[in-house]
Amino acid sequence: MKKWVYFFGVGKAEGDGTWREVLGGKGAGLAEMTRIGLPVPAGFTISTEACDYYYKNGKKFPPELKKQLVDNVAKLEKVTKKKLGDPKAPLLVSVRSGSARSMPGMMETILNLGLNDRSVQGLAGSTKNERFAYDAYRRFVQMYSTVVMEMPKEDLEHRLRAMKERVGVKEDTAVPASGWKELVAEYKAYFKQKTGQDFPDDPMEQLWGAIGAVFGSWMAEKAVTYRRVEKITGLLGTAVNVVQMVYGNTGENSGTGVCFTRNPSTGEKEFYGDYLVNAQGEDVVAGIRTPMHLKEMAKAMPKVYGQLEKVRVRLEKHYRDMQDMEFTVEEGTLYMLQTRTGKRTPTAAFRMGVDMADEKLITKEEAIQRIQPADIERLFYPVIDAKVDRKSLTGKIITHGIDAVPGAAVGKVVFSAHDAESWAAKGEKVVLVRRETSPEDVGGMAVAQGILTATGGKTSHAAVVARGWGKCCIVGAEKLQIDYAAKTMTAGGKTVKEGEWITLDGGEGVVYEGDMPLVVPSLPKSYEILMKWADGVRRLGVRTNADTPQDARKAREFGAEGIGLCRTEHMFFTDFEHPEKSHDRQRAIQEMILADTKEARVKALDKLLPFQRRDFIGIFKAMDGFPVTIRLIDPPLHEFVPHERKKQEELAKELHLDVEVVAQRVRQLHESNPMLGHRGCRLSITYPEILEMQVRAIIEAALECKKQGVKVLPEIMHPLTLDRKEMQILEQATRKVADELIKKSGTKLEYLVGTMIELPRAALLAAEIAEVAEFFSFGTNDLTQTTMGLSRDDAGRFLPDYVDEKKAGVFTADPFQSLDIKGVGMLMRWGIERGRSTRPKLKVGICGEHGGDADSVKFCHEIGMDYVSSSPFRVPISRLAAAQAVIEDKAKAKNK
Ligand code: PEP
Ligand code: MG
């Protein structure tokens, strides 16, 4: 018989910490903590496989589950010596979700399950606290109504507020037992009115309802959104953890907290966390009250704190990673409710990785494996420019809050996640301001520059989610008055309306009015150390896509070892070193396009030559001996001429042409499918003089640099080729110009001539093309477009449906972001194999956007490329992913 339920308690557990796929992260953590003897309340876990079964079978539970549930409840009753629904010693349980990958706050939880009119008296009797028992009861009815029956939260909250007014108290803690009793009756009456049924009295019925609700929450909008944003795929579902309740809200000697074995913001080795006295379960995470720091707890409850500190040391050693733990103190006794590998900022990830490797807790390779490549980008957190006058800054302070996630953010204020999403879709930068955030808000949080909440601590929902993303976040700005209806926020005598700019300083926890200039800080020491380790491990070379000397220099700082793609046409419109000369360049290229004879074209190209030569000299110098791949003109010519009448008139005047001639030429250049039209090397086939000018500029620049003692390695690249004969014409034309110049100079200069592989035909015929090309560079932007028949410019309109789990879910990621390994990857693998069959030493790289995407880089490693090339800021991602690919290879070989 298939096992669906796994028990843990009194030092024994079915399963352990490695069973995450089946027990979920929470279940596996509880099992493991039980096994190693930590104080964990007993319980059992219904597996993720049961959730998978539930969805595959029209939302029906597996038939064997019933008996297994009854058996496990009986077992739990035995070890706890309490009984579900018992009028004297009732067993109460919590029912919580937990999938194999942590999704903080995205799914449902029900506490105090097992209470009814009889067992509540048992609870009141055994705790000698009637007030507490009825508070627990009303919390249960409230949670059950909203979570299981999906009744509106506000309807219940409203009754709670009305009751408090009637009783004449402000704080929940001041409500007497009679108040809670009344409220339970009211909730139940409302339940009946809404659902037509009585509130379920039978604990087993309650339990089945709760299990169904937890399974249901797996496919709730917010959970699906979170998985999409976090790119979590391939999980079976959520497990359900049914655990004996312990209470943090029985009085001043009780409480509940969340803590981390190291500081999740900075990575420092210090015990870090929040504790809330006399509070239950989710109060800390929900951020309803602002909690105390662990240091204060150490003073208030030294004995329990000492125990907790021991657990901290034990768990970190055991898991060999930073742990995020939840605990409850019931009448001075410590209970561990959860442990999981903690989320951390990118800075903290580097610091912990290097520290733990130094402490010999983990190996250097493990430290490298633990960095999420995409997180590196977030290391380059912006901060408010130090040049901003501090005095004027002080005058702009709106309010202070808790510095939950560092970095600074600037944006226009919006007050709902929905507005954040719609404004961001229009290209606006927004800061999301909420009283508190809830999992429904993740979509808006993801697109916001920063997040500000009026309540909550460092472990509140907003803080945890934002930290995972490395997004600037301030919480607990308690002086902030937010008026959702009027769309304003007020503090310190300042009122900010929707759409007005604010600046958050997440490092200091300060909110300013206005949009401050931000700068990117220098990197932590541990970053340099760890990246050096990664460079020592990787096999792939890492180059950059850079079109200007400035970008090339930046990329060198990020560790680029050459240029994999210099798009020459980007220099046609802008002179990056002498912007005032941009106009001359534009006119020269436009004159070339408008020319109707070869002579006229050559004349215009001659004007462009010195500009290009100067650019190339700058780039060669910046790369100082590293290879530089320069691609000849690629886009269709219509992109370089004006389409509006007024601009055409200006151009005609400057070039002494009739405006009709200009307009006529622009019309001629129009194509229905420009991406599949007269572009790429096809331009050089039609107008060889363009190729000649560009090759001349490259070789003359290289010779000039050589003369100045700069080592140069030019690689001349033809885009969009599709045939051996075509490539041969280009190669011969290139060599003719280059060799003549080199010969004339009397020096030696090595250079390569190669091609991009951007069309399926080129990949298919790679063996032939490699006969005349010395290198291949996969242009996977176009190769994705042409293989999949998806327009790289317009597919964004419908691609989201293709990656949405709830809609088509055809792809797990946008194929323009992360390589379609199955299809496009098959062509790449074939292209490399076939290319090297005729030219064994064929140099192969990639220069599409995928060169900066970690999964794609790993694939490039697997198929034997020589290097990847990515935009400057993503060079470190490529370096790290390349190292991880080697480490993963080793692990695979070992497992074989
Ligand atoms: C490509 O197509 O992948 C490429 C790098 O060229 P571009 O993006 O300039 O078309
Ligand atoms: Mg291309």
Residue 224: Cβ within 10 Å count: 15
Distance CA 246, CA 810 (A): 44
All residues at 6 or more sequence positions from 840 whose CB lies less than 8 Å from its CB, including other chains: none
Distance CA 17, CA 10 (A): 16
Supply the pLDDT for residue 718. 98
Task: Given the residues 51, 472, 847, 860, select the one marked as catalytic.
Answer: 847
Distance CA 259, CA 293 (A): 10
Pocket of ligand 1 (CB under 6 A): 565, 567, 634, 758, 779-782, 847-848
pLDDT band at 571 (very low <50, low <70, confident <90, very high): confident
Starting at the edge strand that comes first in sequence, how are the strands of the sheet with 292-293 ordered? 292-293, 272-277, 255-260, 323-330, 333-341
pLDDT band at 458 (very low <50, low <70, confident <90, very high): low
What contacts 24+ positions apart, CB below 8 Å, involve 646-655?
651/587, 651/590, 651/594, 654/587, 655/587, 655/590, 655/591, 655/594
Residue 493, pLDDT above cutoff 80: yes
Q: What is the DSSP string of 358-375?
A: HTTSS-HHHHHHTS-GGG
Distance CA 148, CA 213 (A): 5
Average pLDDT of span 622-631: 96
Residue 416, pLDDT above cutoff 90: yes
- The closest of 156, 149, 154, 147 to 217, measured between CA atoms, is 147
Nearest CA to ligand 1 atom 6: 779
pLDDT digits 0-9 by tens, 287-302: 566 788 888 899 989 9
Supply the pLDDT for residue 835. 98
Nearest CA to ligand 1 atom 10: 782
- For a ligand 1 pocket test, name from 563, 721, 758, 868 the mutation site with the most ligand atoms within 8 angstroms of its C-beta: 758
Q: What is the DSSP string of 415-445?
A: SSHHHHHHHHHTT--EEEEESS--GGGHHHH
Supply the pLDDT for residue 468. 60
Compute the distance from residue 567 Cα to the ligand 2 centre, in Å: 10
Task: Tell how far CA 627 is from the center of its chain.
Answer: 32
Q: Could you confirm whether 566 is annotated as catalytic?
A: no
Supply the pLDDT for residue 746. 95
**Which numbered atom of ligand 1 lies nearest the CA of 567?**
9
Compute the distance from residue 679 Cα to the ligand 2 centre, in Å: 10
Residue 649, pLDDT above cutoff 90: yes
Supply the pLDDT for residue 281. 66
**Which numbered atom of ligand 1 lies nearest the CA of 785?**
2
Compute the distance from residue 782 Cα to the ligand 1 centre, in Å: 6
pLDDT digits 0-9 by tens, 826-842: 999 999 999 999 999 99
**How many Å is the maximal CA-CA distance in the chain?**
103
Distance CA 90, CA 88 (A): 6
Supply the pLDDT for residue 774. 98
Average pLDDT of span 121-148: 93
Distance CA 697, CA 738 (A): 10
**Which numbered atom of ligand 1 lies nearest the CA of 847?**
5
Q: Phi and psi dihedrals of 45, rounded to 5? A: -120, 125
Supply the pLDDT for residue 796. 67
- The closest of 588, 589, 590 to 665, measured between CA atoms, is 590
Compute the distance from residue 779 Cα to the ligand 1 centre, in Å: 5
**DSSP label of 675:** G
pLDDT digits 0-9 by tens, 750-773: 999 999 999 999 999 999 999 999
Supply the pLDDT for residue 819. 95
Q: Which helix H or strand E contains 258, and what residues bound it?
A: strand 255-260
Please state at what angle helix 65-80 crosses helix 203-217, rounded to 10 degrees.
120
Distance CA 430, CA 868 (A): 34
Nearest CA to ligand 1 atom 1: 779
Task: Given the residues 461, 638, 718, 850, select the one marked as catalytic.
Answer: 461
Cα 151 to Cα 110, 202, 214, 885: the distances in Å are: 14, 20, 15, 49
Distance CA 357, CA 53 (A): 41
Are the C-beta atoms of residues 478 and 308 closer than 8 Å to each other? no
pLDDT digits 0-9 by tens, 658-677: 999 999 999 999 999 988 99
Structure token digits, residue 829: 């693998």
Residue 439, pLDDT above cutoff 80: no
Are the C-beta atoms of residues 175 and 164 closer than 8 Å to each other? yes
Distance CA 856, CA 455 (A): 40
Supply the pLDDT for residue 471. 85
Q: Which-ligand-closest: CA of 545?
A: 1
Q: Which-ligand-closest: CA of 870?
A: 1
Are the C-beta atoms of residues 442 and 465 closer than 8 Å to each other? yes
- In the predicted model, what is the mean pLDDT of the chain? 91
More confident residue, 437 or 105: 437
Residue 116, pLDDT above cutoff 70: yes
**Which numbered atom of ligand 1 lies nearest the CA of 778?**
3
Supply the pLDDT for residue 286. 60
**Which numbered atom of ligand 1 lies nearest the CA of 565?**
5
More confident residue, 460 or 704: 704
pLDDT band at 799 (very low <50, low <70, confident <90, very high): confident
Which conformational region is residue 360 in: left (phi greater than 0), alpha (psi within -120 to 50 degrees), or beta? left
Compute the distance from residue 787 Cα to the ligand 1 centre, in Å: 14
Are the C-beta atoms of residues 135 and 112 closer than 8 Å to each other? no
Reduce the DSSP state of residue 831 to 3 states and report it.
Answer: helix
Nearest CA to ligand 1 atom 9: 567
pLDDT digits 0-9 by tens, 354-402: 999 999 999 999 999 999 876 786 787 788 887 888 778 888 999 998 8
Reduce the DSSP state of residue 401 to 3 states and report it.
Answer: coil
Supply the pLDDT for residue 849. 86
Compute the distance from residue 759 Cα to the ligand 2 centre, in Å: 9
Weakest mean pLDDT among 301-305, 449-453, 801-805: 801-805
Q: Which-ligand-closest: CA of 780?
A: 1
- The closest of 565, 524, 573, 528 to 544, measured between CA atoms, is 565
pLDDT band at 570 (very low <50, low <70, confident <90, very high): confident
Reduce the DSSP state of residue 320 to 3 states and report it.
Answer: coil
Q: Which-ligand-closest: CA of 564?
A: 1
Q: What percent of the chain has pLDDT over 90?
A: 71
Supply the pLDDT for residue 288. 60
Write down how long the chain is: 896
Cα 826 to Cα 109, 833, 860, 869: the distances in Å are: 44, 11, 12, 20
Nearest CA to ligand 1 atom 4: 779
